[in-house]
Structure 1
Amino acid sequence: MSAACTNGIDIGFASLNYLQIGFLGVVQGITELLPISSTAHMRIVPALLGWTDPGSAFSAIMQLAALAAVLSYFAKDVRALLQGTVQAIQVRNYQSPHFRMSVGIVLATIPIGIAGLLLSHLLNACGSALRGLPVIAVACIVMAALLAISEWKCKHERRMHEMRLRDALWVGLAQVGALIPGVSRSGSTLTGALFLNFRREDAAQFSFLLGLPAIALAGLKELLVLWHAHIPLEAWQHLAVGLVVGSVSAFAAIWGLMHFLERFSTWVFVAYRALLGIFLLVALGMGWLA
């Protein structure tokens, strides 16, 4: 078993120094909420720099930084959603847009919740094949193609308040793909919403709000796993540093993405993902990366 393993859980991040953790926190925070896959970058960046793979547990817990950023940026929307849902339940107005959105978010979380539990033993295992660079490379290219099709073929006219329960379930099913490194949770849900003809900025907001329960459940579950694994105190300190840095960079990423999508399409992310996937395949083929 690798030295980076504790009770079968990969804690490679514990062997990194605080500067490396801070740098990875910035990378994680930015890439978690952009449609370019944070998990992919958590494998690629350390591999390029010759660092230890921080492990899937690090990536999962760093999602809590994204959670804090989303709640901060969309605080007004989240508050209105919660208050509107409570009021709708009190007066039994089950056609309320707020109530329907809340139900939609719950429905959208069920598929990834079930799949995450079923695959957790494979996703979090030391040396998991799913975290291999070939898998990430193919996932990047496939998602680039799907995002390109959604830009090319779909009309982007619908607003978020037009969301129906079947729309939420469709995006929730798309979110399951995020369990595969390289797919990206924000990328899969954004692409799913674009295929439903939502406007780009509405699709992004839809993606962020739908992801709140999934991000929270994944991060908190991983914290519980590490707690039961009795990881050393220094490992917890590493996680704390990463979370603080990641929260700030994730907030900046949301601000930038929302303003970008108000004016531009997602073609830049299509190109980035495709080039990243091709680079990885070439680098692996040439022996530049192991």
Structure 2
Amino acid sequence: MTALHLFVLAIVQGITEFLPISSSGHLILVPALTGWPDQGLAMDGAVHVGTLVAVLLYFREDTKGLFLAALGAVGIAPARRAVADTIYAKLFWALVIATIPAVIFGFTVKVSGLADLMRGAAVIATTSIVFGLLLWVADKKGATEKALDRMAVKPALIIGFAQVLSLIPGTSRAGITMTAARYLGFGRQEAARFSMLLSIPTIIGAGVLLGKDVAESGDPVIWIDAAIGAGLSCLAALAAIHFLMKWLERANMTIFVVYRVLLGIGLFALIGTGAI
């Protein structure tokens, strides 16, 4: 892998993982638009590790609280007492509940081979536009008063089932979970915060599966490239998270909707001309 290929891959993954514009769709498009070879499973795993580190660092107070809540949930009394008067015990179980549908459906899609059938530019173009417009509707119609202390079983489950749709490339895991949260009345920053915390078990699960695939494939892992990719994607993801949270302090989701619609239209144009 060339230095330019590595740089582009890591930056694209880092920026798009947490913005509501679809990281998987962009990663599929990189080789399609540039003619570069597929980056391989090991590099996919490395850049995902980078984004995982970024969200853990940015939301370090939340991740600390959730870690204590997890320890408390398995019977460690000091940890349970440490989060007794916080939102983290409740938030931990909300994240568990919201993760379950993606685990079930994700495994089903993987073993059925449907994932490979959905990796086309036309699919990405369609989902980019459709789910972008859905985000716009939910953001305009949704109330903004709910904070994460209102996250209960029902809304967590709804967001969890919405996350299943992100198995279709171009949908955007961040985008569809924020859409569901906004539809349920959670504030923009709270919707983004829950979406990014929900990414932690999702990325870990995807990383485990990628690691298994790499081990079974026997492909050599170029550790230096993997480390550079992880580091670059971490830095890009930190910048993207900071931008998103600051943007949502004062503005809505429209900028991301416009980008998604223009991306979809551009892809359809390239498909029509036979460029991809």
Fold-level similarity (TM above 0.5): yes
In structure 2, the residue matched to 1:20 is 5
Residue 44 of structure 1, CA deviation = 2.0
SS at the partner of 2:250?
Answer: coil
Structure 2 unaligned blocks of 5 or more: none
In structure 1, the residue matched to 2:200 is 212
Deviations 1:227-267 (A, max 9, x none): 12111143x44333211211111111111111111111000
The percent identity for this pair of structures is: 39
In structure 1, the residue matched to 2:264 is 277
Partners of 2:113 and 2:169 in 1: how far apart? 9
Bigger CA drift: 80-89 or 37-46?
A: 80-89
User: For residue 168 of structure 2, what is the amino acid of its counterpart?
Assistant: I
Contact preservation (8 Å) 1:94, 1:100: no
TM-score (norm: length of structure 1): 0.86
Equivalent in 23, 30, 33 of residue 18 of structure 2: 33
Partners of 2:40 and 2:267 in 1: how far apart? 19
What pairs up with 1:138-153 in 2 under 5 angstroms? 138-153=126-141
Q: Structure 1's 195 and 40: CA in aligned 2 closer, same or farther, altered over 3 A?
A: same
In structure 1, the residue matched to 2:275 is 288
Deviations 1:23-69 (A, max 9, x none): 21011100011110011111223322222233576445532221110
User: For residue 266 of structure 2, what is the amino acid of its counterpart?
Assistant: F
Residue 129 of structure 1, CA deviation = 2.4
Contact preservation (8 Å) 2:41, 2:213: no
In structure 2, the residue matched to 1:248 is 235
Partners of 1:233 and 1:28 in 2: how far apart? 19
User: For residue 109 of structure 2, what is the amino acid of its counterpart?
Assistant: L
In structure 1, the residue matched to 2:87 is 97
Contact preservation (8 Å) 2:46, 2:229: no
Contact preservation (8 Å) 1:112, 1:176: yes
User: For residue 66 of structure 1, what is the amino acid of its counterpart?
Assistant: T
Residue 94 of structure 1, CA deviation = 8.7
What pairs up with 1:55-94 in 2 under 5 angstroms? 58-59=43-44, 61-84=46-69, 86=71, 90=77
User: For residue 125 of structure 2, what is the amino acid of its counterpart?
Assistant: A
Deviations 1:56-94 (A, max 9, x none): 764455322211100000001211233356558637999
Contact preservation (8 Å) 2:125, 2:264: yes
Instruction: Report the number of matched residues.
Output: 271
Q: Structure 1's 288 and 67: CA in aligned 2 closer, same or farther, altered over 3 A?
A: same
Does 2:145 align with 1:157?
Answer: yes
User: For residue 129 of structure 2, what is the amino acid of its counterpart?
Assistant: I
Partners of 2:168 and 2:228 in 1: how far apart? 26
In structure 1, the residue matched to 2:210 is 222
TM-score (norm: length of structure 2): 0.90
Does 2:7 align with 1:42?
Answer: no
Contact preservation (8 Å) 1:62, 1:219: no
In structure 1, the residue matched to 2:98 is 108
